[in-house]
Amino acid sequence: MSDVLVAAVRAALSKVQDPMSGRDLVAAGLVQGLTARDGLVQFALEVPRERARELEPLRQAAEAAASGVAGVLSATCVLTAHRPAGAPAPAAPKPAAAPHSHGHGHSHAAPKGQGEMLLPDVKFIVAVASGKGGVGKSTTAVNLAVALAAQGLAVGLLDADIYGPSLPQMLGAREKPRTEGQKLIPIQRWGLQAMSIGFLVDPDTAMIWRGPMVMGALEQMMGQVTWGKLDIMVVDMPPGTGDAQLTMSQRVPLAGAVIVSTPQDVALIDAKRGVKMFEKVNVPVLGLIENMSFFCCPKCGERTEIFGHGGARAEAGRMGVEFLGELPLKLAIRELADAGTPIVAARPETEEAGHYRAIAARLWAKLNGAVNKAGPRIMVE
């Protein structure tokens, strides 16, 4: 069925004209990565980087053409740029201050050439990041988001990890998002709103996308989703320092970043890189969290410091960053995350849930004490 739908969408796109060449989109070779699954269609248009904003109407026309095909429930098109081999990279623009407000309903200025900042109705946007994978960043992000929602806040949770989305599993949500016109309605779970590329594709699908397509998908999950007014959005970042981190720092007014690390030296080295990366794009680092700080035996309760202990606290002190707290390595946290029931929601009375709630409370207090203290956005090429 998916092959038939792909062919039908390709036929519809062949009726949309490319204004640059005068040929249709398919004949001009602009259509890339066309996939269809359960009525959800995704593809990219490969266009010159410098003409991306000018060709936004073409993207909309292509998306509309795909949406009109029988059997298509939702179509998503992104613009991706291709730089010919050997072509020089464009010079990075000079940093420029761009005032912004964290208040509801206010527009945000953006670097020249980037358009308006996305998510203008979100009061605070916080990136939960790590320098490397496997440190429990996603588990931390989900439980912090649920803890914030339990405080009565309007909370959004965005999965920015396009290659390895984990929110559907951790939230216990496998349904496809409903649509409202050309926009997606975020999934409601555990008192918060959530969106992930994992809600749109089959769990076994490998996202073999180049950087510009990842950036385009992120922008659309922020700009073409009916988030509404939120007190805070928690963004579960992919590990490392790549395209997703730059997209978030350029296209939304990040209130700050939280870095998650284990106590061991090899993780702390990467955590330091994460701190430096956010500093370079002028995003405040709100603090470090030490995850898997110690292991508690589920039978006898004996405490063992498998990865060492206190490394993140010491590193935070050396870097002049607040240490937000430590989280234990406990079987219940992992089991409940795998079952799609975050421990803060499933067992709020436990000590583990209390750790998450304490960190979430400190984070919210810190954000409200730092209104309008974030610096200018910096464009990084």
CA–centroid distance for 171 within its chain = 15
pTM for the whole thing? Answer: 0.67
Domain 2-81 top-level CATH class: alpha beta
Cβ–Cβ < 8 Å for 248, 160? yes
Instruction: Report the distance separating Cα 273 and Cα 375, nearest Å.
Output: 20
Nearest to 263 by CA among 129, 131, 130, 135: 135
Scanning 122-205, the segments in alpha helix (DSSP H) are 137-150, 167-171
In a structure prediction context, what are the per-residue pLDDT tens digits for the chain, which is 381 residues long?
A: 578 899 999 999 999 998 888 899 999 999 988 888 777 788 888 887 667 778 888 988 998 999 999 988 878 887 776 433 333 333 333 333 333 334 443 334 444 344 567 888 999 999 998 876 778 889 999 999 999 999 999 999 999 888 888 888 999 988 888 888 878 899 999 999 999 988 887 766 666 666 677 777 888 888 889 999 999 999 998 877 666 777 777 788 889 999 998 876 666 777 778 788 888 878 889 999 988 877 777 777 777 767 666 777 788 888 888 989 888 888 888 889 889 999 999 899 998 899 999 999 999 999 988 544 444 333 333
Cβ–Cβ < 8 Å for 272, 285? no
Query: What are residue 204's phi and psi, to 5 degrees?
Result: -90, 0
| Residue 147 one-letter amino acid | A
Domain boundaries defined on the chain: 2-81, 122-368
How is domain 122-368 classified at the CATH fold level? Rossmann fold (3.40.50)
Q: Is 332 exposed, middle or buried (0-12, 13-18, 19+ CB in 10 A)?
A: middle
Instruction: Report the distance separating Cα 178 and Cα 49, nearest Å.
Output: 31
